[in-house]
Amino acid sequence: MTIANKIFKPKQYVKAFSAAVLATSMLGYTSVSNAGATFKIDDTKWVSIGAGLRTSFTATEEAAAGSKWSNDFSLDNMRLYLNAQIHEYIKLEFNTECQFCGSNGGDIKVLDAIGKFEFNQYINIWAGRMLVPAERREMNGPFYSAVFNIFSTGTPFDPADFGGPAGIGPDQAGLYGRDDGVTLWGSLMKGRLQYAFGLFNGLRGSANTDDNLLYAQRIAYNFWDVEKNPGYYTSGTYYGSGGDILTLAISNQYQEDGAGTATDKGDFRGTAIDILMEKVLGNGGVVTINGEYKNYAITNGYSQASRDSLTPGWNMFEGNAYDISAMYLFPQKIAIGQFQPFVRLTNTLPDNSSDRTAYEAGVNYVIDGHNALISLNWHYGDRITKGLDYSTDASGDKVHSVTLGLQLQI
């Protein structure tokens, strides 16, 4: 996302920018249990370190000169993880991400920088730069999702997914789903009811000249076994290790003057409902279904004329979208891993703009859960070619693409 001061530029730039955002706006979380090494200082103090890598090869129809197939290797994510405990109730998390690693060598950016006051299961407070509470896809991130291309062919992004070359600054609203703020989180009813409420900067500058804060909430209920994750984070699959899962959640984000321009402001509201169902069958196989529905709106301003202009400002998605995927993990181990075929459908229905759809099918080769896997998938649709252009004349061809991805974590 090596782009100038603002995220949204003239329409002739939208498609190029869309491709960059879709390729790089990925987020995730770091679990202490997945750290590569833990160094104990005394009975209450410790430091852990780890790393995560995602790299892929993608061939896309009509994406090269002469309408030929493109052939692109990409370093999608390279992260370093550091966690520490400095008191029984106080922890620290610091993670980095390599931004633009696939284009110009990359720049190391601060992904997370969180001071954690963790008292019990009921009430905890995080402060600093962290994930904004949102739908499951955002809380999974790329490393803990069930599908490798979870963002590039997924539903529209939240404000905190957009960040320019400075990461988080004026005329921006975050980076990789993160923003600077504070989150109160915990669980009730023996862990079944999980909540996260946060206050964040949200959009700075642009339409938000009054410095209004972004309010974010997520509430989830576990009907079957209780999901166990660090903080308020989630996973898109547990490969059967989490038992039988059926969790329904609702999330919401709101910011006054959170969209538009300084002279034509609008209030942003994004609401999502997501569900995860994972069932371990009698033969040891695992069925996993992920579903997500979004409804985003911009009210009290930001006219269609401004949205269609050459300088549309902070042009957030407005409309409806859904994403559903299903997969089956075979119980038999072939060589060092298990095969997990999947199918996925994503449909984005923006107001006053053309619809866009993505169909996917593929297979994961799961070696060590989220720590080691290979993914091969086929994609067809116009989700990527239309990208983030929500103007009335948005257009893009339906194209095929094939991705082979590798994910490693320690």
Please give the pLDDT value at position 106.
77
Predicted local distance difference test score (pLDDT) of residue 96:
96
HSE (CB half, 13 Å, CA atoms) of 33? 6
Extract the residue ranges of the chain whose pLDDT is less than 70.
1-35, 102-103, 166
Under 8 Å between Cβ of 249 and 236 = no
Please spell the DSSP secondary structure of 148-188, one letter per residue: TTTTTTSSPPPGGG---TTSS-TT---BTTEEEEEEEEEEE
Could you read off the pLDDT of 291-326 as tens digits, one per residue?
Answer: 999 999 999 999 988 888 888 889 899 999 999 999
Structure confidence by residue, pLDDT tens digits, 256-299: 999 999 999 999 999 999 999 999 999 999 999 999 999 999 99
Q: Identify the residue whose tokens are 């090494």.
A: 37
The pLDDT score that the predictor gives to residue 103 is: 65
Residue 10: its pLDDT value, please? 36
Instruction: For the chain, list the domains and their CATH numbers.
Output: 11-409 (2.40.160.10)
Per-residue pLDDT tens for 339-389?
999 999 999 999 999 999 999 999 999 999 999 999 999 999 999 899 888
For residues 260 and 303, the answer to whether their CB atoms sit within 8 Å is no
Q: How many angstroms separate the CA atoms of 113 and 101, rounded? A: 21
Residue with tokens 């790089």: 24
Distance CA 296, CA 4 (A): 26
Cβ neighbours, 10 Å, residue 68: 11
Number of Cβ within 10 Å of residue 263's Cβ equals 10
- Residue pair 170/204 in contact by the 8 Å Cβ criterion: yes
b/e map 329-350, b = 16+ CB within 10 Å: bbeeeeeeebebebebbbbbeb
